[in-house]
Amino acid sequence: MHVEAPPEASPPSCATSFGEFVAGHARAGRLVVQPRMGFGSPEAMRRGLLAVRAADACAAGTITLDSYTRVGAHDRAARALAAGADLNGYPLVAHAVETTAAVLDGVAGGGFPVQVRHGSALPSAIVRTALRCGLTATEGGPVSYCLPYSRVPLADAIADWRTTCELLARTPGAHLESFGGCMLGQLCPPSLLVALSVLEGLFFRQHGLRSVSLSYAQQTHHGQDAEAVAALRLLAAEFLGDLDWHVVLYTYMGLFPQTARGAAALLEDSVRLAVATRAERLILKTRAEATRIPAIEDNVVALEDAHAAALRLRASAPPVPAPDLVRGTEVYREARTLVECVLDLSGDIGEAFAAAFARGYLDVPYCLHPDNRNRARTFLDDTGRLRWAAVGGMPLKPSPRGRNRRGTALESVELLRMLHWMRERFDNAPPGPRE
């Protein structure tokens, strides 16, 4: 492949790993921003990484994999490459290690770490290849990349993720991010997202990881989201305090605003949330999300806009809430209840996960995976907060429904209203922070 010269700007820092890179920027009060970008062509993938590295932002790089690779269909990915097909991500396993090394040569390093994002319930082959290419940061989890994205039995995913963690644990500087805080992207009350992220972090630690990140996806109410990230940070300190850990926030993952003004306002709102909650890293969408696949230029604009917004908003960020205030919030209380309930089932976190889903102690609403009970349901209250309409077998209580809601059964009209809530709110209202 043709190798483009790396940019002369942004010389590598002294950081040597993904976790150290994020921690260094956090100590300096800077938010690390990151795209969700992947291309099938090595040339395009390299151009994308070069553009992100050259952006006027504290940015980390991303190689997002294609859908064939996510499900282990590496032969189909190879045939698609041979046929010149335009894949929806980078087929890491189908490409030769030398090809990927050329993509990364002179681009990835301590001053610009690159994370592999894959979406696979059975990722060990992907991670083995990534490690051979010198890529030591990735993401996912035995629950978060099994239940919403596959029909793989949860027990099989847990076993493969155990192997994956042990592979990474033997690699100096390896970093693993839980996707637990992003289950289904939307319509999941924050307490379950927080609990799953913490529990996957515990699974990673049990199998040898020392550097992890815990995720949370922006939902429908700024105040509730702020409570959720505060709860996540406190629970991480309480349960994972011996690790190198940080929090990664995701810009809203549901239906995106269709207007440029609405999309820009939602993107800035996610930056405001990240700054207010001291999240160390932010995974961004772009203004093009609702209409087309974002180009490299779209991602660079999003990164630079987010970086500028973070600098502007930092001075007005609210103070960090005291731990006692966080412990008094509904999100913290529910999340801790779920974490403790799962941990009581077994000293092996993988076995505890399997037992918790089998008994319905963990239940992801609207998730159709065979190992998920799918009895939990949610609703938006009159202020836009996500609440539990039904909790199934989880050790929680359903929330009282507002005067404008009918019954506990979620009707299709209300489900559609929930799915379109953020799009309509940001398309139809002036930009500004959510209440």
| Residue 66 within any structural domain of the chain | no
| 90 phi and psi angles, rounded to 5 deg | -90, 120
**To 5 degrees, how large is the angle CA 203–CA 206–CA 210?**
95
| The pLDDT of residue 430 | 61
CA distances from 242 to 59, 202, 224, 226, 237 (A): 26, 11, 28, 24, 8
Range(s) of the domain holding residue 240: 19-24+117-435
Structure tokens at 342: 């799962």
CB 118, CB 69: distance < 8 Å:
yes
Burial class (CB in 10 A: 0-12, 13-18, 19+), 241: exposed
Residue 65 lies in a domain: no
Write down the pLDDT at residue 343. 98
- The encoded tokens of residue 84 equal 């010149």
Answer yes or no: are the C-beta atoms of 44 and 90 closer than 8 Å.
no
Q: Which CA distances in Å does 78 have to 62, 74, 121, 292, 363?
A: 21, 6, 20, 25, 37
Is there a domain that residue 100 lies in?
A: no
Type of residue found at 335? A
| CA 349/CA 137 separation, integer angstroms | 22
What is the residue whose two structure tokens read 């993904």? 18
**Is residue 177 in a domain?**
yes
Q: What is the pLDDT of residue 416?
A: 85
Q: Cα–Cα distances in Å, from 25 out to 28, 58, 205?
A: 5, 8, 24
CATH of the domain at 245: 3.20.20.240
Provide the whole-model pTM. 0.93
* pLDDT by position in tens, the chain (length 435): 444 433 333 333 334 699 999 999 999 999 999 999 999 999 999 999 999 999 999 999 999 999 999 999 999 999 999 999 999 999 999 999 999 999 999 999 879 999 999 999 999 999 999 999 999 999 999 999 999 889 999 999 999 999 999 999 999 999 999 999 999 878 899 999 999 999 999 999 999 999 999 999 999 999 999 999 999 999 999 999 999 999 999 999 988 999 989 999 999 999 999 999 999 999 999 988 888 889 999 999 999 999 999 999 999 999 999 999 999 999 999 999 999 999 999 999 999 999 999 999 999 999 999 999 999 999 999 899 999 999 999 999 998 875 445 544 556 777 888 888 889 999 997 655 544
For the chain, the domain total comes to 1
* 361 found inside a domain: yes
Q: Does residue 200 fall inside a structural domain? A: yes
Q: Does residue 41 lie in a domain region?
A: no
CA atoms within 13 Å, Cβ hemisphere of 110: 9
Q: 128 in a domain, yes or no?
A: yes
So what's the pLDDT on residue 36? 93
